[in-house]
């Protein structure tokens, strides 16, 4: 199956498989590759779409979570998707939540894993020391339960980002925007059935955050993955895929195929 990145106008994305549309949204330091295992699994039954969000490309003053949600809306309109589910990790979950509050009629189901929107601890509570590789390495490892999940390639990528002034300013702008745009008062209005998948050892959006989402959202199911940090689809892909596949299959059981 072709998992190559498509480029149309200003949009870069992966689109693979046939069936109901699933749109996967990556996190703040994320990339399309974060969803590799999920893409391989779900694209056998669904049309899986992973857009690259313009985290580093928006004008600095417009770099916030609301504008990322607007970007996703424009992308969806451009592609002509009319009924779809949103699946978001970390910042991607926050973008999905904002999207759902604005366009609830278009979204069939919602999946959140390690989502921001209530509270997050992106860099472990400290400002990134840009030129200290070991410091950045430790903060990337903080994302996972098993530090070995923080590959050298991933650490190098984050190190490059925080040492690029333009990218770092946008990362900080988005982190501050996420804190300001707290969703606690809006969650009760989200009527879309939601799947919450959380690592038990998530340090970035800890267990209490998952518990609050579970309490505040009217129609949700919460699933835990043990020995797992903030990026369950990367650290425990088999467990993550088993949960999300079973849940989505139940949701789409009586839906007509597209």
Terminal Cα distance for the chain, rounded: 19
Is residue 36 over pLDDT 50? yes
pLDDT tens by residue, 169-219: 998 899 889 989 999 999 999 999 999 999 999 999 999 999 999 999 999
Residue 98: CA atoms inside 13 Å, Cβ hemisphere, count?
Answer: 24
CA distance 228 to 258: 34
Q: What global pTM score does this model have?
A: 0.92
Mean pLDDT of the region 27-56:
91
Task: With H, G, I as helix, E, B as strand and everything else as coil, classify residue 172.
Answer: helix
Note the pLDDT of residue 113. 97
Find the mean pLDDT for residues 145-161: 91
Over range 58-73, report the average pLDDT. 95
Q: Does domain 6-119+182-251 have CATH number 3.20.20.70?
A: no
What pLDDT is recorded for position 127?
53
% the chain with pLDDT above 90? 75
Number of separate helices (H) and strands (E) present in the chain: 9, 8
Maximal C-alpha separation, the chain: 54
Q: Is the pLDDT of residue 139 over 90?
A: no
Gap between the Cα atoms of 57 and 22, Å rounded: 24
pLDDT of residue 246: 97
Q: From start to end of 90-168, where are the E strands? A: 107-113
């Amino acid at each position: 199956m072709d998992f190559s990145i498509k480029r149309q106008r200003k949009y870069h994305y992966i689109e693979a498989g046939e069936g109901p549309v699933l749109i996967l949204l990556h996190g703040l330091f994320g990339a399309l590759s974060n969803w590799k295992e999920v893409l391989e699994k779900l694209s056998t039954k669904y049309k899986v779409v992973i857009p690259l969000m313009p985290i580093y490309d928006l004008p600095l003053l417009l770099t916030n979570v609301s504008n990322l949600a607007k970007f996703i809306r424009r992308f969806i309109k451009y592609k002509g998707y009319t009924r779809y589910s949103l699946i978001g990790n970390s910042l991607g979950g926050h973008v999905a939540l904002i999207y759902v509050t604005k366009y609830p009629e278009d979204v069939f189901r919602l999946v959140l894993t390690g989502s921001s929107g209530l509270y997050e601890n992106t860099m472990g509570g400290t400002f990134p020391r840009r030129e200290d590789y070991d410091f950045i390495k430790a903060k990337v490892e903080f994302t996972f339960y098993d530090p070995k999940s923080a590959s050298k390639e991933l650490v190098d990528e984050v190190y490059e980002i925080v040492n690029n002034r333009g990218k770092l300013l946008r990362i900080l702008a988005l982190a501050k925007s996420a804190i300001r745009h707290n969703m606690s008062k809006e969650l009760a209005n989200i009527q879309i059935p939601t799947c919450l998948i959380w690592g038990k050892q998530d340090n970035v959006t800890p267990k209490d955050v998952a518990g609050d989402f579970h309490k505040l959202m009217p129609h949700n199911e919460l699933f835990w993955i043990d020995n797992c940090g903030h990026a369950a689809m990367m650290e425990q892909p088999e467990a993550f895929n088993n949960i999300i596949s079973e849940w989505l299959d139940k949701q789409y059981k009586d839906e007509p195929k597209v």
